[in-house]
Amino acid sequence: MTQAQVIGIIPARYGSRRFPGKPLASIAGKSLIQRTYENAKKCSLFNHLIVATEDQRIYDHVLEFQGEVVMTSPDSPTGTERVVEALSQIQAPDDAIIVNIQGDVPLLETLVIEEVVNLLIQNEQEVMSTAVVPITQEAEALDPHIVKCILDKTNHALYFSRGLIPCGEFRQDVVYYHHLGIYAYRKEFVRHYMTLDPTPLQMAEDLEQLKVLEHGFRIKVAIVESTSFGVDRPQDIKRVEDNL
């Protein structure tokens, strides 16, 4: 059986509220989006890797470093919607696996991408996958900016929250998981996702992956080791540079 094509899409939005122009921010001589793109390109599973942006400056910049890029609408409110819009502009087989890679995580380990993609390659019944990393520090567990995930016995997501789950308080005898914002989907499923109505828990937590669970679909989860982090504020640039 021929393996499905794997297409990586990196949503890159210029108009970040906390860090306007973030994808073009310089990190040791290269932009954030270039570093993210080149880092993801190390994954040999990708047949194509594409930036999806709403901004002409980012579009032109990606072409300058010889990356693949498509222009999407400024009205797409989420990364997933930008991914689906990008899919409408490229030729992707119906059985393709689509990987949504955050544009502000320039040091994401190749092994993490491979683990998430392989969950779909090796399990034909799965429609969507993501990754988590165990939390070891109480401060990280209590941080509302870090999304937590709880799993069932088959490593499918039961719930995601910005609050501390399970228990609501940090305990040494409980394993907590930090959700990493990478997703792989089957092409037909991510397009179906866009037809689903918003759901109460999705809106309460402001986490789009909860819509998947609330509509009765499952998300397979890889438990990985990762020290990657997102660039959320200008001061995070130095942290990336210190880890290059």
Predicted model pTM: 0.94
What pLDDT, on the 0 to 100 scale, is given for residue 16?
A: 77
What pLDDT, on the 0 to 100 scale, is given for residue 214?
A: 98
> At residue 96, what are phi and psi to the nearest 5 degrees?
-65, 150
- Tokens 């194509």, residue? 48
Cβ-contact 8, 86 below 8 angstroms: no
- In eight-state DSSP terms, residue 2 is P
What pLDDT, on the 0 to 100 scale, is given for residue 78?
A: 82
| C-alpha–C-alpha distance, residues 164 and 244, integer Å | 31
- Measured from the Cβ of residue 163, the count of other Cβ atoms closer than 10 Å reads 10
What pLDDT, on the 0 to 100 scale, is given for residue 2?
A: 62
Q: Which residues of the chain fall short of a pLDDT of 70? A: 1-2
